[in-house]
Amino acid sequence: MNNHIAIKNFVRMCEDGWNQGWHERNGGNLSYRMTKTEVLDCIDKFDMSSDYKPLGISAPNMADEHFIVTGSGKYMRNVPLCPEENICIVRIDETGSMYKVVWGLTKGGKPTSELSSHILNHSVKAELTDGRYRVMYHAHPENVVSLSYVLPLNDKDFSRALWQSETECAMVFPEGVGVVGWYIPGGTELAEASSEKMKSYDAVVWAHHGLFCSGVDFDSTFGLMHTVEKAASIFVKVKCMGGAKQTITDEQLVRIAESIGEVLNPDFVDLGKEA
Ligand code: 13P
Ligand code: ZN
């Protein structure tokens, strides 16, 4: 199983996230919606005998899907050492509201406590992208979390702060980022608030907690997490150096996105109002 290509790519991302310092203790979680071919490749290793348990949310378009998911309370740093103890494959039932573990977590445990957020976000993105999005990733990157203590907790202020902190950002996430307030981790309220934001953005800040990113594959999703966190770290450095003396203008932000055929979210720029 550990040589299965989807498992290998999944494990590599866990290791990369740990190496970035985004996963203290059991912080963060990752999920990947398997293709039909990937499922068929390993279905003979599945144990279907456990009972279905409620997800706490309903995602009818995720019925009968299979996800590779990190285990709750498991450490990202341990995933490469023993994938089968620290991650699992869950199957969603035919209603999209229950799940069961069919592989992994060989020493016990359950899927991430944020499973409801992952599945609801997968549901939203699959619907919007005709099934192209397959990866959901939650991490605790320290600079993004730091920003949530100083910036107003709204999409526009966060998006602008990040776009202005590094030229790349207006290309990588021209739609901006979403922001949700503080919620109890692992709850359905957090899942529902996140999935609302996922309708408009690929990255959602969880105030005083972390960041949730989505994407078509492991590279783009990891890359988005990395880009947002790097921009946040530049923002923090600039603040510590006494604040920006100059910045990227709104007109320049629009042009950055245009240069790669994208459109910067017009609600977040104030063209014509600049000096
Ligand atoms: P899990 O260990 O249950 O995945 O929780 C970690 C986390 O980051 C919760 O938000
Ligand atoms: Zn978390």
How far, in Å, is the centroid of ligand 1 from the Cα of 28? 5
* Statement: residue 217 has pLDDT above 80: yes
The rounded percent of the chain whose pLDDT value lies above 90 is 97
- List the residue whose alpha carbon is closest to atom 10 of ligand 1: 185
Query: What is the position in ligand 1's atom list of the atom closest to the CA of 70?
Result: 4
State how far the Cα of 267 lies from the Cα of 257, in Å rounded to an integer. Answer: 14
Instruction: Write down the pLDDT at residue 275.
Output: 46
**What one-character DSSP code corresponds to residue 172?**
H
Best residue for ligand 1 mutational test, from 18, 24, 29 (most atoms within 8 Å of Cβ): 29
How far, in Å, is the centroid of ligand 2 from the Cα of 208? 10
Beta-strand pair 178-180/203-206: parallel
Average pLDDT, the chain: 97
The rounded percent of the chain whose pLDDT value lies above 70 is 99
Q: Residues 114, 166, 175, 229: which is the catalytic one?
A: 114
Q: pLDDT band at residue 225, thresholds of 50, 70 and 90?
A: very high
The per-residue pLDDT for range 170-188, each reduced to its tens digit, is: 999 999 999 999 999 999 9
Distance between terminal CA atoms of the chain? 60
114 annotated active-site: yes
Residue 24's nearest CA partner among 131, 139, 116, 119 is: 139
Instruction: Write down the pLDDT at residue 51.
Output: 96
Q: Which residues line ligand 1 (CB under 6 A)?
A: 26-29, 70, 72-73, 112-114, 138, 185-186
Mean pLDDT, range 254-269, rounded to an integer: 98
How far, in Å, is the centroid of ligand 2 from the Cα of 184? 10
How far, in Å, is the centroid of ligand 2 from the Cα of 139? 6
Query: What is the position in ligand 1's atom list of the atom closest to the CA of 73?
Result: 2
Instruction: Write down the pLDDT at residue 1.
Output: 87
Q: Which tokens in the block code for residue 50?
A: 């456990």
Structural element, H or E, at residue 34? none
State how far the Cα of 191 lies from the Cα of 36, in Å rounded to an integer. Answer: 26
The per-residue pLDDT for range 51-90, each reduced to its tens digit, is: 999 999 999 999 999 999 999 999 999 999 999 999 999 9
Domains and CATH numbers, the chain: 1-139 (3.40.225.10), 141-268 (3.40.225.10)
The per-residue pLDDT for range 129-182, each reduced to its tens digit, is: 999 999 999 999 999 999 999 999 999 999 999 999 999 999 999 999 999 999
State how far the Cα of 116 lies from the Cα of 136, in Å rounded to an integer. Answer: 12
* Statement: residue 103 has pLDDT above 80: yes
Could you tell me how many residues make up the chain? 275
Mean pLDDT, range 5-16, rounded to an integer: 97
Whether pTM exceeds 0.95: yes
Residue 221's nearest CA partner among 142, 160, 138, 141 is: 138
Instruction: Write down the pLDDT at residue 273.
Output: 58
Other CB atoms closer than 10 Å to residue 239's CB: what's the count?
A: 14
